[in-house]
A and B are shown apart, each in its own frame.
Chain A
């Protein structure tokens, strides 16, 4: 907000204090003070009277050139000037600090981004691996006949169990399309075999964890971080939206 004030002050100064008219440049005491202050911020020491005179002299020279450029219309139709002015406003909008919001605002943000705080359907499962299908079929028949599943399966780099794996995780582990096979797969019994990029698998799904939103109170810290990130990323857009309310856009038709 500080920057908006500065800009506002500058515009105000340009209007009233400078009192610019044809071939006249008015150096107000406010200008002198501002130049001195700027010098002090940059160098850490107050400007001496000689330094101040020199600063004012520079300012006058620049102002003459600036006014002359404006009089010649050099700011018009100049894409570099246009772009720099646009950038300037963009940076101002983006650098505005983001205040800590009310809980109600955070809750609203949470609700409207609920998807981001929702865990997808996840599976917890055990698996036995077989390079070829007959091995898997035989093992399943034996397990169905009452033998202990722990005695079956060929060694493989896959784990014998996986917890809380989403469809994306399942495909990353077993290969494309494997998660689709689990959609309506029975739970709490050994089933299969299912074919993957590796071979054949008997699966025992121990749990299906349905899609669920994490409650706000459990995740409010993360929501705050996300909210700040969002506000920062959208500051320029919000500023533009506000400005657009004051503009009527007219487009000439062909």
Chain B
């Protein structure tokens, strides 16, 4: 029997699935017309332009993500991401987005700033290939792009594009009209969501280049405002990062200001911090100046692992083995640690400074996610990783056993996703939440990175710093010293003081310890040391081992509950280097750890009702890294 369902069409209207740019974002446009009161704030003298309500001359911590891919990135599109830049910004402001696997993604606390940074090469092209109406869909490499299937199918099509980009024919599909229209949408979406005082967006993109051995040399290019070039400079223009810097220099001369932030040095196979240039020549001061002019920051942590240091490089740092992603990016080939990690680069930088008078590796740090789902993923207990349908659940990312063991009896999927992290948040100290104030903070390297939580870290050095109990600690530290990211000129033989100060994320675990990591050059050899400087729970640093006593905090692996009543809300210390030598080049940076908590893979296992995988860390200590302060020695 056939029955006419008059209500069915209405039902269809309500439930029709969306695709393309309509990916289910919950809109929450912010207004820009809030009155601007000034009675509670203290604008700096001379600053006559209007400030936003949160203006603070002692600077506020703002948190964001500068590494976000949307449907315009070739790989994100293949992985199933249909979220647009507009959706990405809506998410960062607190909206809900649908993951391609069907679940909702939402932040507990919205972010303060966000920058969509899609791959410049093939920008928007894969999405257009999936449009059977388009010319580009007729290209042989586009075959099957409109019918992306399961994870394996997507994996093989991703590999096909990767091969094509490395071929001589790579330019054939980089249709500049498609790229331009995607770029315009990226700029417009950023402008639409930029809301001075409340939420800042940056026009950005990723320059995705590789060394000849496939080592990762990726950088994100962040523009100060919406005065940007017609087209982004991509690896199709040149694979040599020095050409990117030339382009940025030329833009700067024309009034277009930007900076580039390298990432995944860990997967560079020693290429990111080489001691030679692209052509193999020794570095010189022109190289150092140009690199530092264009790359004042580095992404120290992200989903594809942390690049602070490696156990092989820092054997005496008990916390060096943290979220190490040991492979070259998008392979299972080992990446050589030497030349791939931040601390070693700092050391080589000051060694060059001492020997030759220039330092190409004097950068600050941020974290960011590198999400390819348009959505920052930094919560261990609410993790969706970053490559769409390829790693959307515990089985696919190797934290939960397969239904049937693989050949050879392996219980888990054959993947490198288990080495990835719920990580990567950028922190800045800026007067207010605007493009100008935050970009200026990037420039002066007053930045820090965290492994996900919103831990705030202050770090000062100087010869006239206040007591840490001083109620005006911040303003006096600014006036009597220098902040993270700066240089401090040695003052005779006097040892400078440091203030290391960290506040917990009120929505994450409390703090366990604060450390200062020192690097210096002694008799031409780079050296490093880790000093605990503040301990939670009344602990006192042992003057011989330079370590806090164990505070005894632990994790119940049955349900991920953490120790209650252990750990600190804030830790701060005034510190002097017991081995200070005014003749040495040195750098100091802050690192602070939370009490241990469950890693995302443990959360996955518990929710699936299985044992956590024994060869993965069950718990981690979330942490924050500051940009260093460099000491310029007495001549």
B501 touches A157 (CB 8 A): yes
B94 touches A168 (CB 8 A): yes
Does B523 reach chain A (CB closer than 8 Å)?
Answer: no
Select the stretch in B339-347, B420-428, B468-476 that faces chain A.
Answer: B468-476
B22 touches A233 (CB 8 A): yes
Contacts of B8 in A (CB 8 A): 249, 251
Contacts of B506 in A (CB 8 A): 171-176, 178, 196-198
Alpha-carbon distance A153/B146, docked complex (angstroms)? 62
B20 touches A90 (CB 8 A): yes
Interface residues of A in 189-204 (CB under 8 A from B): 196-199
A175-B506, A248-B4, A253-B1 given; A119·B37 CB < 8 A:
no
A119 touches B133 (CB 8 A): no
Does A159 reach chain B (CB closer than 8 Å)?
Answer: yes
B18 touches A87 (CB 8 A): no
Q: Which of A88, A91, A158, A252 contacts B2 (CB 8 A)?
A: A252
Alpha-carbon distance A176/B109, docked complex (angstroms)? 10
A199 touches B569 (CB 8 A): yes
Interface SS, B side: loop
Contacts of B470 in A (CB 8 A): 155
Select the stretch in B9-17, B240-248, B274-282, B580-588 that faces chain A.
Answer: B9-17
Q: Which of B33, B94, B133, B456 contacts A91 (CB 8 A)?
A: B133
Does A64 reach chain B (CB closer than 8 Å)?
Answer: no
Alpha-carbon distance A243/B506, docked complex (angstroms)? 52
A83 touches B146 (CB 8 A): yes
A87-B146, A197-B506, A237-B18 given; A164·B33 CB < 8 A:
no
* B-contact 0/1 string along A19-41, CB 8 Å cutoff: 00000000000000000000000
Interface residues of B in 332-366 (CB under 8 A from A): none
B33 touches A219 (CB 8 A): yes
Residue with the highest number of chain A CB atoms closer than 10 Å, among B1, B31, B109, B458: B31
Alpha-carbon distance A161/B569, docked complex (angstroms)? 19
Select the stretch in B52-60, B152-160, B296-304, B436-444 that faces chain A.
Answer: B52-60
Does B254 reach chain A (CB closer than 8 Å)?
Answer: no
A249 touches B13 (CB 8 A): no
Alpha-carbon distance A153/B456, docked complex (angstroms)? 20
B34 touches A164 (CB 8 A): yes
Interface residues of A in 212-254 (CB under 8 A from B): 214, 218-219, 222, 225-226, 229-230, 232-234, 236-237, 240-241, 244-245, 247-253
Interface size class of A (residues with CB under 8 A): 35 or more
Alpha-carbon distance A164/B432, docked complex (angstroms)? 14
Does A117 reach chain B (CB closer than 8 Å)?
Answer: yes
Nearest B-chain residue to A199, judged by Cβ: B569
A198 touches B507 (CB 8 A): no
Contacts of A168 in B (CB 8 A): 94, 109-110
Nearest B-chain residue to A250, judged by Cβ: B2
Contacts of A234 in B (CB 8 A): 22
Alpha-carbon distance A229/B86, docked complex (angstroms)? 8
A249 touches B147 (CB 8 A): no
Residue with the highest number of chain B CB atoms closer than 10 Å, among A153, A232, A247: A232
Alpha-carbon distance A246/B132, docked complex (angstroms)? 26
Contacts of A91 in B (CB 8 A): 131-133
A176 touches B34 (CB 8 A): no
Alpha-carbon distance A117/B195, docked complex (angstroms)? 13
Nearest B-chain residue to A223, judged by Cβ: B29
Does A67 reach chain B (CB closer than 8 Å)?
Answer: no
Does B285 reach chain A (CB closer than 8 Å)?
Answer: no
Contacts of A248 in B (CB 8 A): 4
Does B3 reach chain A (CB closer than 8 Å)?
Answer: yes
B132 touches A84 (CB 8 A): yes
A159-B60, A171-B109, A236-B20 given; A206·B40 CB < 8 A:
yes
Alpha-carbon distance A21/B34, docked complex (angstroms)? 69
Does B5 reach chain A (CB closer than 8 Å)?
Answer: yes
A244 touches B12 (CB 8 A): yes
Does A137 reach chain B (CB closer than 8 Å)?
Answer: no
Q: Which of A157, A158, A175 contacts B458 (CB 8 A)?
A: A157
Alpha-carbon distance A164/B5, docked complex (angstroms)? 52
Does B570 reach chain A (CB closer than 8 Å)?
Answer: yes
A94-B20, A164-B37 given; A83·B147 CB < 8 A:
yes
Q: Which of B22, B40, B454 contacts A237 (CB 8 A)?
A: B22
The 7 closest A-B pairs by CB, nearest first: A175-B506, A197-B506, A157-B503, A233-B22, A198-B569, A163-B53, A218-B33
What are 13 A-B pairs at a CB distance below 8 A? A87-B131, A91-B131, A91-B132, A124-B37, A155-B469, A157-B456, A171-B109, A172-B454, A199-B569, A222-B29, A233-B18, A249-B12, A251-B3
List 18 additional A-B contacts (Cβ < 8 Å) besides A42-B135, A172-B454.
A94-B21, A116-B29, A131-B569, A155-B469, A162-B40, A162-B54, A163-B41, A172-B110, A176-B506, A197-B504, A214-B34, A226-B29, A233-B18, A240-B16, A249-B12, A250-B2, A251-B2, A251-B8
